[in-house]
Amino acid sequence: MALGSGRRLDVFDETIEETDMADERSVMPLSFTGKSEDASDWARHSYKYCMYKEYDDRKALPLFKELMVGPAADWLESLPEDKTKAYKVFKKAFDERFQTPNVVKFKSAKAIFFQASG
């Protein structure tokens, strides 16, 4: 198969590109709605993805914003501008809004354990 530049595309190049795209889709974080996802897990996965892609805070912030949909996107749009310009400030606001405090997680786990063993 020839490209418009006159260069011939090798079948192996195409396969590698397709494999890279498939790998990319398998590691990219999913959208975040703020409904049923575990915000801690989602944020950790998104952070690791940004490290994998070698994104700095300037590149990570737009990705995080783009992945927010539904109620999470509504929340994002309601934030004052000063909370959405810097990654660390935005991440703090995200954690305050969506992450379940450890005390609540502990109480929930304790209740589940005692229900199952009772």
71-107 pLDDT tens trace: 999 999 999 999 999 999 999 999 999 987 664 555 5
Using the predicted structure, report yes or no on whether residue 3 has a pLDDT greater than 50. Answer: no
Determine contact, residues 33/71, Cβ cutoff 8 Å.
Answer: yes
Share of the chain above pLDDT 90, in %: 58
**0.85 surpassed by pTM:** no
Instruction: Output DSSP code: residue 92.
Output: H
Confidence grade of residue 36 (pLDDT, cut at 50, 70, 90): confident
Using the predicted structure, report yes or no on whether residue 66 has a pLDDT greater than 80. Answer: yes
Determine contact, residues 49/25, Cβ cutoff 8 Å.
Answer: no
Pick from 15-19, 64-68, 95-99, 112-116: least confident:
15-19
Sign of CA dihedral 50, 55, 57, 58: negative
Determine contact, residues 2/8, Cβ cutoff 8 Å.
Answer: yes
Q: And the tokens for 40? A: 């801690």
What distances in angstroms separate CA 84 from CA 7, 64, 79, 81, one per listed residue?
44, 11, 7, 5
